[in-house]
Structure 1
Amino acid sequence: MITLEHVEKHFGALHALKDISGQIVQGEVAVLCGPSGSGKSTLIRTINRLEEIDGGRIIVAGQDIHEKSLDLNAFRERVGFVFQQFNLFPHLSVLDNITLAPRKLRKVPKAEAEEKALLLLDRVGLREKASAFPTSLSGGQSQRVAIARSLAMSPEVMLFDEPTSALDPEMVSEVLAVMTELAQEGMTMVCVTHEMGFARSVADTVWFLEAGRVEAQLSSEEFFESGNNPRIRAFMAHVGRSQ
């Protein structure tokens, strides 16, 4: 589903991504982890071109996403992205937030879009919030609405950039539960997260990044048994202290 070939990214003098290559197959859950500043969020943002790359290639569903012929807006309709800070439109109700893209971009009739939106709200446990506005929602509820909004476009891939980092601890589990259900249903997912319990139970592969490089690409089982890797061991100890 996703192939990265020798991806490079600079921000001025900062070499943010260094010769990154790897594959994520259809239906796989890949977790990107590593210390702050290692390039995780930059990497995931390159997969739908929120960040442009300076070298290499990224192929999604067989398409080089930097080809001149690419319709960028149509491509992004196929790739859901869930941000740290929800990015809901505050002036729209929950229902309107979810139906906006299908109605405007795909010209889905209002009734059809709303029917699907309500089913998605059922799925994330928030049907009763359909007429509410984002300012009345908790952080966990807002993030679940953001996931439902992405799913409304029936994406082939879901990207999550630290979706629980802005949440109070008691709200984290409700978002992870929705993500776990998606994974169990076979959604291809790339997740930047420090939630190692989630990674252990759901991830197929774990990419460990440091200083802009992928230092390890391991199966979940291999990653959590990699006690002989001092950098991974130190990272896991740090994450354990902070949770």
Structure 2
Amino acid sequence: MADSDHNWRLWGERDPYYAVLTHARFRSDSIEDHRREFFEGGEVFVSHWLSQIERYFGALPRGRALDFGCGVGRLTLPLADHFESAVGLDIAPAMLAEARRNSDGRPIDYLLSDDSLSRVEGSFDFVISCIVLQHIPVARGMAILGRLLDRVNPGGGAIIQLSTRRNHSRWQRLGEQIRHTVPGGQAVMNLLGGRAADTPVMQMNEYPLDGVLRLFDERGFHEMLVRYQNHGGTDAAMIIARRSYA
């Protein structure tokens, strides 16, 4: 299996906005024409899902918020508008550097991530992670998710998005196997797809929804709402939840 952390660092150096949202208009050579759209989408996303969690579970405390896999700050920036302060975590130093440039003095701390969240201090009233865990191998991702949920204060909320099934053909799955397990397979598949041979892997993983929901429940999130999503043939779940006070 390809090293997801290494490849994400490469994406941060080469094409950070596209790595966050894989649309051609967010490529490095065109992002300046679409920067406003990129960040406005993040503002709409955060406002919508915060309203949803509060609609179903009541008002959240608005102290600290955490964005895991923050990338260039697309969701972290609006979090800082809804909460007193925000923390953005990412594995890619280049992503964090770009996020800091985008933050314009907002009350946000950007920190280098690791599996144990060792650089993060304290707890949070809200944790979000979207279009991130799918790029992390499942065993690692589940352990990280447990640690993220542990950081949520009683009465606080979480919004977690993850992929649950890739509805790919036999040939697509064979291509993925070649890409991830055969020496030189990534370069071959890139060339066949019309990409540069050294284009990094954007790893995709399927999470067991029952296991994820069990993890939420074990961490005290007994109120949960799950929304089904489809991302280009990949089944995904958006989980919004609130941690119980007792």
TM-score normalised to structure 2 length: 0.31
TM-score normalised to structure 1 length: 0.31
